[in-house]
Amino acid sequence: MPEMSALNKKLTQTLAETISKQVKHFNKRETECLIRLCNGLLGDQTVSIHNSLLLLVYLAVFHTFDKDSDGYISVKEWIEGLSVFLRGTLDEKIKYCFAVYDLNSDGYISREEMLQMLNDSMIREPTEEDPDEGIKDLVEITFKRMDYDHDGRLSYADFERAVREENLLLEAFGSCLPDAESTLVFEEQAFKDPPGQ
């Protein structure tokens, strides 16, 4: 990445100062590093990432980063998303995972959404006679376990209660958070000081 001009460096520092006061889990230096990373992904010094670019990187989680649903991820949305993604509390991760799993953003996880997510995440053996039946059975078992109000869909309250009782259910419908090793590798790379500093 080309060396930053003095003006761009000052703008980045000012933006990092502002964002680091608004976003949990990252200090000013880390926020500056994430801004530089964001700009590096773009290949220029603009401050938003277009939907199609980030879809290549994040696929299913784009809509959770794009808080204002404008089809772009601003630098602030990028850093807020990474804050939860990498260092979020259990409460933040529950909200994040629920938002990822609520495919149509209606406030509920339906059987159909669950079936779609599990279908997409299952490894299929060529010898299986009807793998869809197994997935349908898994959906029914999961609903019996998590649908506390028995209304045929998972509300946020159902999901939160189930995850608090059994943390492994946080990613019950497919992986949407990085594992600890991936987080560590990302942070080691992202939070390196740029050459010349």
40-49, 105-114, 187-196: which has the minimum mean pLDDT? 40-49
Task: Report the C-alpha dihedral over residues 159, 160, 166, 172, rounded to 10 degrees.
Answer: 40
Q: Which amino acid is at 10?
A: K
Enumerate residues 6+ apart whose C-beta is below 8 A from 116.
103
Cα Rg for the chain, rounded, in angstroms? Answer: 20
Q: Which two tokens stand for residue 93?
A: 């991760």
Question: Looking at residues 73-84, what average pLDDT do you find?
Answer: 88
Alpha carbons 64 and 95: distance in angstroms, whole number: 10
What the chain holds in terms of domains, given with CATH numbers, is 1-88 (no CATH), 90-169 (1.10.238.10)
Report the Cα–Cα distance between both ends of the chain, in Å, rounded.
14
Does 56 score more than 60 pLDDT? no
Q: Which amino acid is at 153?
A: R
Q: Contact 62/85 with Cβ under 8 angstroms? A: no
Does 53 score more than 80 pLDDT? no
Q: Which two tokens stand for residue 190?
A: 């992202």
Q: What percent of the chain has pLDDT over 90?
A: 28
Alpha carbons 180 and 40: distance in angstroms, whole number: 24
Does 101 score more than 70 pLDDT? yes
∠47-106-148 over CA atoms, to 5°?
125
Question: Looking at residues 98-125, what average pLDDT do you find?
Answer: 85
The pLDDT tens digits of the residues spanning 159-197 come to 999 999 999 999 888 888 888 888 888 888 888 876 665
